[in-house]
Every structure is written in C-alpha cells, then in structure tokens.
Chain A
Amino acid sequence: MSTPVADIADQETLSFSLARVWVIATNTMTEVIRQKVLYVFVIFTLVLIGASSFFTQFSFTTELKSIIDTCLGAIKYLTALIAIVGTAMLLPSEIENRTIYTILTKPVYRIEFLLGKVVGMSVLLLIVTAAMSLLFGAVLFVKEKTLIASALQGSVGGAHVSDQVQQAVAAIHAQARNPDLLKAIALLFAQSVILVSMTIMVSTFATSSLFSIIIMLLVYFCAPLSAVAHEVWSAQGSPLSHAGLMFINFFIPDLSSMTLVDDVVVGKTVSMAFFWSTCGYAAFYSLVVFALGTLIFQEKEL
C-alpha cells in the first residue's frame, strides 16, 4: 500500500471528463456483447444466405431488388431490436447487481455514467451496422458478378443482342452500386441512436427492463403514426391540433424519414439535403431525450 495516488486526492475540483465517459462506454460494449447480442449476425447471415438463394428464379432486376429489400429490412429490424432490448437491460442490471453503487460513489458524474451507456450502445450499433453492411455489400458484389457473367454468357451472338446485354449490365451496376444504399444504411444507424437515447430515458424511471422494452416497442411500432398525425393535424391548423402534434412529435419520434428502405429499393433518389436534415433531426431529438433522461436520473434515489 505504498503507491500514492496523490493527483487524485489533491484535486479540489472535478470537471466533466470524456475519458470517464469512454471507460463506461467500453465497459457497456463488453456487457452488451456478453448478453449474446452478436447472435444477430447468425440471424443476419441466415437472412443473407436465404435471400441470395431464394430469389434466383426471378429476373435479375427483381432478384437484386428482393435481396436489397430483404437485407435492408433485416438491418432495420435487427439494429432496432438491439438498440431497444440491449439498452433496456443496462440500467436495471446495474441497479440489481449494485455495480451502480461502486461507480457513482467514485468521483463520477451521473451524466457521465448515462452518456457512457448511450455512447457505448451507439458505438456498438455502429460496429454491428457496419459489419452487417459489409456482409450485405459482399453478397451484392458476388451477386452482381454472377448476374453479369450469366448475362454475358447468353450474349454470344450478334450486335443487337450485345446492346441488350450492355443495357442489362448497366442496370445491374446501377442497382448493386446505388450510392443511396449507403445513405439508407446511415439513416438506419441514426434511427438506432434515437432508439438508444429514448430507451435510456425511459429506463431512468422504468421499474424493470420489461417495462422499458414494452414502452419502446410501442413507440417503435407507433412511429409511423407520427408522420400521419403530422400530415393530418398540420392541415387543420387549430391550436389544439398543434398542441397534440407537438406532444406526439416529442414522445413518438418521426422515424419514417430514417427508414428509406422502400424508397431506395424502388430507385428513388435520396438528396443530400434530405439526408443531412434527417441526420440533424436524429441528433437533435436524441440530445433532447437524453437531456430529459439525465434530469430524471439526476434526481433518482438509488
């Protein structure tokens, strides 16, 4: 017991520390990984294998469209599931195992603890989304090569056939290398961050993980209503409908702009302005619900 840790003991003030946030974040990632979250990769791989072999009887455009549709859908629902279930388990397990006492009785601000949880989950989701996208990209790449090879195989003949093949190859390229796919995936990650922030906010007052999961699943599946309510009530223009609109928009985030799977599949273009404004909305919304969660957690008696 001879080693002095004087720099700690002599401190008179304590400022917010990103280093402490990162320590909690990395531990959160380990914790969630231990909850067998990575099994989603098994599910995703199965979806990929199924999609790439099941749609082969269709025409090449329909086949690619179906693969993209299925894989983006899988990324959308699997990341949402991890975001909600993984985050909902974090605070209750810390309280149940009393690990929260050992952390918050150290020189650690409650906001650092909560932010560490959100950052940890978000980074993990970023890695999971990136890894699933890489798998998806690899399948698309292989499929593109296979389809082009089979198109070229059938083109042994005159110049007229060759034009058709060229058009087919161009169509395959356009579908498989659509840059909007990346935008759609990035927006799915933005959706995950919103879900993480919101779940952590709910779990600051929830009595159990199950309660948080149920509330968040309701929010997730009611989210499309937010956009519908926006359209209907903003057309009415009465103060009451505006108040109702604000309430719904706050508690049920508009996730429709983040789930562009259908639009991208049918070849609609996602403009950069729309992409950045949606990212901005996700960042702002996450920040607001996180701030609310911090206020609740600050007053929580443990």
Chain B
Amino acid sequence: MYAVETKDLTKHFRVGLKRKVIALDHLNLQVREGEVYGLLGPNGSGKSTTLKLVLGLHQPTEGEATVFGRSSETVVSRLHVGLLPENPYFYRYLNGEETLRFYGRLCRVTGPKLEEKINELLELVGLSQSRHRRLAGYSKGMLQRIGLAQAMIHDPKLLLLDEPTAGVDPEGSIDIRNLIIKLKKMGKTVILCSHLLSQVQDVCDRISILRYGKMVLEGNVKELLSKKDQYQFVGSGLTEQDKKAIEALIASRGKLVSASHPTSTLEDLYMESVGGTKII
C-alpha cells in the first residue's frame, strides 16, 4: 500500500462562464511509505492543487487520490496526515504552547499525553524558549517551526510540507532540512513542495517535476542526477607533477572533462561564519 497514490487525478477550474483551466491533468503518482518525496515545478504547475486534492480541500474533476488506501475525500483519510501550509499564519492571539494545545485537542490528543507531546515538539523545533510568546510576535522562521510542530501534534505517518523554508533565513532553512532528515529516520513519509532545489536534492529520495499540470519527470534523485558516463576522483597531497601525470593518463584512455579544486558550498561557508547548526 502506498502512502499516497493518485490515479488519473485531474482538476479543472472554471474561469468565467465558459472557459476552463486545467490545473492538473491525469496525474499518476505513487509515494511509498517512509520516503521523502519532492514535488517540483514552476508556479502554477499544479503542485498546490495536488496537495489540496490529496488533503480533500478540493474535489477531483476526474480520477482519485488515496492516502494509505483511503479515499482523500473522506475525513478518516486525514487521521494520519499533517500539513504545513505555505506561509502559515495561525491564530496570532495564541502563544506557541496554546497553538499546539488547540490543534492537539482537535485531534483528540488530551491530558498528560498532550502536554508531553507539546514539550517534545517545542523542543524539537527549537521553540521551547518562546512557548509563552504570542504568535503575533513570531518571526517568519518561527512561524514555520510552529507550523511544523502543529503538523506533527497527532504523530501522523505522512507530512505534507508546502514551501517549508519560504522566507526563512539560511540557518532556519538548514534546521528544517535537518528536521526532515530526522523525520525520515523516524519512518515518516514526507511530501515536500519546494523551489529550493539544493534542499530537495539533499533530502528527497525521489522527485517528480510537474509542468502545466502534467508530470514531465519522475525518479530517484541520485539516479536522475548521476552522470553515468563520467567518473570523479577527489584527492589530496598531490604534487603538480602527479596532477599532470593523472591528467595525461585520463586523456590517453578517455576524455578529460575537468580538473580543478573542489569548492565548498556557500551554505557551509555561511554556517561556519555564523557558528550555526552543523549540516547533517
């Protein structure tokens, strides 16, 4: 059984009296349990529509979506689902702790179990110190974190994260990435919609790319990105003579594509400078 499966999922929107827009066109998707799946595509490609259909916020024009085998149009399919919407706002008059208590009680998590869960999640997303502060005073990054915590309050098996790092600083972005990796280790299934391709590359097992409501590419990230006809060595302690000898050897047997010093990422450099979280 798949965590999420769509069969010919199609969604049309009516614009005016006669015109219709095809937001999603016969999408067939299978997300396996325990994997981190990236849903990519330009704005208006159908990513958010797919999420809304999977969550039962929209009704399909054709086809169907199931969550752990249950039709997404049933409320019972949401027992195992947590959502972090894009740019979440929440109730500004509640503080962090009250927000989690509200969502927990909605999911029938109550009593000491709820309090334990609140403490645990606030710790996990790094908001223990701000638990009594009203959300009106939270930064964008903090709102994303509390959003993640509320999505996990009922311990769902599937998490849908829509642009979880939008507007978040690099440090916060890395924290969220590390959290996704942690969730994967815990056996959760994660569907990630993001424009931050480097992050998707780092955390996702498989991806699909949508364009004009159609899937144009799907597969394992490593397989899709690897250049099978090329090979890369990284060495150290070599003299100029050694390098020339190696280059000559490669040139005699095949084609030398490039030879240069490997570079660090800007992200690594930034984190080193600000002394933030280590990248997993």
The interface of chain A, by Cβ under 8 A from chain B, is 1-5, 7-9, 11-14, 17, 19-20, 23-24, 27, 30-31, 34, 97-99, 101-109, 299, 301-302
Residues in chain A near residue B156, CB distance under 8 A:
9
Task: Tell me the total A-B contact number using a CB cutoff of 8 A.
Answer: 115
How far, in whole Å, are A8 and B94 apart by their CA atoms in the complex?
A: 24
User: Are B155 and A8 closer than 8 Å at their CB atoms?
Assistant: yes
User: Are B85 and A98 closer than 8 Å at their CB atoms?
Assistant: yes
User: Are B79 and A105 closer than 8 Å at their CB atoms?
Assistant: no
Whether A3 contacts B117 in the complex (CB less than 8 A), given A31-B91, A101-B83, A102-B103, comes out as yes
B154 interface contact, C-beta 8 A: yes
Residues in chain A near residue B266, CB distance under 8 A:
none
B278 interface contact, C-beta 8 A: no
B22 interface contact, C-beta 8 A: no
User: Are A27 and B157 closer than 8 Å at their CB atoms?
Assistant: no
Whether A14 contacts B103 in the complex (CB less than 8 A), given A5-B109, A99-B90, comes out as no
User: Are A3 and B113 closer than 8 Å at their CB atoms?
Assistant: yes
User: Are A23 and B90 closer than 8 Å at their CB atoms?
Assistant: no
B76 interface contact, C-beta 8 A: yes
B93 to chain A, nearest CB (A): 5
B227 interface contact, C-beta 8 A: no
The interface of chain B, by Cβ under 8 A from chain A, is 52, 55-59, 75-76, 78-83, 85-91, 93-94, 102-103, 105-109, 113, 116-117, 120-121, 124, 147, 150-152, 154-157, 160, 182, 186
Whether A19 contacts B90 in the complex (CB less than 8 A), given A8-B79, A8-B154, comes out as no
User: Are A31 and B107 closer than 8 Å at their CB atoms?
Assistant: no
Partner of B155, one of A3, A13, A20, A107: A3
Jot down 6 A-B pairs with beta carbons below 8 A, ordered by A: A12-B76, A14-B79, A101-B57, A107-B78, A107-B79, A299-B59
User: Are B155 and A105 closer than 8 Å at their CB atoms?
Assistant: no
User: Are A5 and B154 closer than 8 Å at their CB atoms?
Assistant: yes
User: Are A108 and B81 closer than 8 Å at their CB atoms?
Assistant: no
B162 — nearest CB in chain A belongs to which residue? A101
How far, in whole Å, are A31 and B91 apart by their CA atoms in the complex?
A: 8
How far, in whole Å, are A178 and B76 apart by their CA atoms in the complex?
A: 53
A300 — nearest CB in chain B belongs to which residue? B57
How far, in whole Å, are A8 and B105 apart by their CA atoms in the complex?
A: 11
Whether A9 contacts B80 in the complex (CB less than 8 A), given A14-B75, A30-B93, A107-B75, comes out as yes
Partner of B81, one of A24, A30, A105, A301: A105
Residues in chain A near residue B124, CB distance under 8 A:
1
A13 — nearest CB in chain B belongs to which residue? B76
How far, in whole Å, are A10 and B113 apart by their CA atoms in the complex?
A: 16
A94 to chain B, nearest CB (A): 10
How far, in whole Å, are A8 and B83 apart by their CA atoms in the complex?
A: 16
Partner of B103, one of A7, A34, A106: A106
Q: Which 8 A-B pairs have the closest CB atoms?
A: A5-B155, A97-B89, A105-B83, A23-B105, A105-B55, A34-B93, A101-B85, A302-B57
Partner of A103, one of B106, B116, B120: B106
Residues in chain B near residue A19, CB distance under 8 A:
105, 108
B154 — nearest CB in chain A belongs to which residue? A8
User: Are A4 and B58 closer than 8 Å at their CB atoms?
Assistant: no
B101 — nearest CB in chain A belongs to which residue? A23
Query: Which of B55, B102, B103, B186 has the most chain A CB within a 10 Å cutoff?
Result: B102
How far, in whole Å, are A5 and B75 apart by their CA atoms in the complex?
A: 18
Residues in chain A near residue B81, CB distance under 8 A:
105
How far, in whole Å, are A17 and B152 apart by their CA atoms in the complex?
A: 21
B269 to chain A, nearest CB (A): 31
Residues in chain A near residue B113, CB distance under 8 A:
3, 5
Partner of A108, one of B75, B82, B85, B155: B75
User: Are A102 and B85 closer than 8 Å at their CB atoms?
Assistant: yes
Residues in chain B near residue A98, CB distance under 8 A:
85-89
How far, in whole Å, are A301 and B56 apart by their CA atoms in the complex?
A: 9
B58 — nearest CB in chain A belongs to which residue? A301
B115 — nearest CB in chain A belongs to which residue? A3
User: Are A106 and B154 closer than 8 Å at their CB atoms?
Assistant: yes
User: Are A23 and B155 closer than 8 Å at their CB atoms?
Assistant: no
B182 — nearest CB in chain A belongs to which residue? A1
User: Are B83 and A107 closer than 8 Å at their CB atoms?
Assistant: no
A6 — nearest CB in chain B belongs to which residue? B155
Whether A1 contacts B120 in the complex (CB less than 8 A), given A9-B80, A101-B57, A102-B103, comes out as yes
Query: Which of B59, B75, B109, B150 has the most chain A CB within a 10 Å cutoff?
Result: B75
How far, in whole Å, are A123 and B121 apart by their CA atoms in the complex?
A: 32
Partner of B102, one of A23, A105, A302: A23
Residues in chain A near residue B107, CB distance under 8 A:
5, 8, 106-107
